[in-house]
Amino acid sequence: MILNNRIALVVGGGNGLGRAIAKVYTREGAIVIVADLDYDAAVETLTQINQSDKGLVYQVDISDAEACRRLVQTVVDRWGRLDILVNCAAISLVDPILEVTPERWDKVFAVNARGAFFCMQAAARVMIPQKFGRIINITSPASKSGFPFFTSYCASKAAVDSMTRCAAVAWAPYGITVNTIAPGRMTGGMVDTIEKEMMKLTGKTEEQLKAERTRDLPMGRRVTPEEVAEAAVWLASDAAAYVTAERFNFSGGMELS
């Protein structure tokens, strides 16, 4: 139980990787608070971690910076502190690069970059006086690659990489570590939605696309959210106290640094 009684807020914990992290954090003894735009999905995560306390689940739209602040405040009002923040919520809109509109660009940035930033800022305001904190931002190999169907997503994840480094340096004197995990292409989660959009744009079938987008992975398979979640345990643990500003690649060789 390496996270015993740690108060952990998983933003975007209603699905995919966020749900997997909520599960491993619970296994390791943390008190996990699940926040998501999709309330029902967050409640389902709660059920899957065998919790019935509805005080552990919050509906939030992180594209509203004030809502990020309120979310953290509500957690602190109830639990007295916040030890771990996982910024997992994100969206990806599929647009050929010449068809990206300002509205769709802003929509992606509002969640992936601005939302992650203001959750992180609100958390740090609590963690600084505590002199302890672990912030884990979820980035993507997309932040360093050129995927022309996902320019806004790629750029928003590059913003996550950058803000992680700035925050890590700013808050290092206060016992707060800030790192990213970059999962490779995962099973389930947002990839399913993305691939449906890509099918419309490319005319390819689901089987064709999935085969194509798995063949190019060195391991010949996609990573599961459960595999990636284990990295979030270690980064949140006391063992990782001196690890900050790092990008933890969990892409099975998809991204070479």
Ligand X SMILES: NC(=O)c1ccc[n+]([C@@H]2O[C@H](COP(=O)([O-])OP(=O)(O)OC[C@H]3O[C@@H](n4cnc5c(N)ncnc54)[C@H](O)[C@@H]3O)[C@@H](O)[C@H]2O)c1
Task: Please report, as ranges, the residues that interact with ligand X according to CB under 6 A.
Answer: 12, 14-18, 36-38, 41, 60-63, 88-91, 111, 115, 138, 140, 183, 185-186, 189-191, 225
Active site residue 242: no
Q: Of 17 and 82, which CB lies nearer to ligand X in the complex structure?
A: 17
Triad 78, 81, 87: Cα angle to 5°? 95
- Show the tokens assigned to 145: 């690659």
Q: Of 63 and 164, which CB lies nearer to ligand X in the complex structure?
A: 63
Q: Of 25, 153, 174, 242, which one is the catalytic site residue?
A: 153
Q: Do 46 and 52 contact (CB within 8 A), yes or no?
A: yes
The residue among 78, 60, 84, 79 whose CA lies nearest residue 70 is 60
Minimum distance between the CB of residue 129 and ligand X, rounded to whole angstroms? 26
Q: How far is CA 75 from CA 34, 83, 166, 193, in A?
A: 10, 11, 25, 31
Q: How far is CA 168 from CA 84, 103, 118, 162, 164, in A?
A: 14, 31, 15, 10, 6
Minimum distance between the CB of residue 132 and ligand X, rounded to whole angstroms? 24
Q: Distance between CA 158 and CA 144 in Å, rounded?
A: 7
Minimum distance between the CB of residue 59 and ligand X, rounded to whole angstroms? 8
Q: Which residue is nearest to ligand X (CB)?
A: 16
Q: Of 88 and 113, which CB lies nearer to ligand X in the complex structure?
A: 88
* 86 φ/ψ sector (left φ>0, alpha ψ -120 to 50, else beta): beta
Minimum distance between the CB of residue 134 and ligand X, rounded to whole angstroms? 17
Minimum distance between the CB of residue 24 and ligand X, rounded to whole angstroms? 14
Q: How far is CA 22 from CA 172, 212, 225, 237, in A?
A: 25, 31, 11, 15
Q: Of 175 and 188, which CB lies nearer to ligand X in the complex structure?
A: 188
Q: Of 64 and 172, which CB lies nearer to ligand X in the complex structure?
A: 64
As annotated, the active-site residues are 153
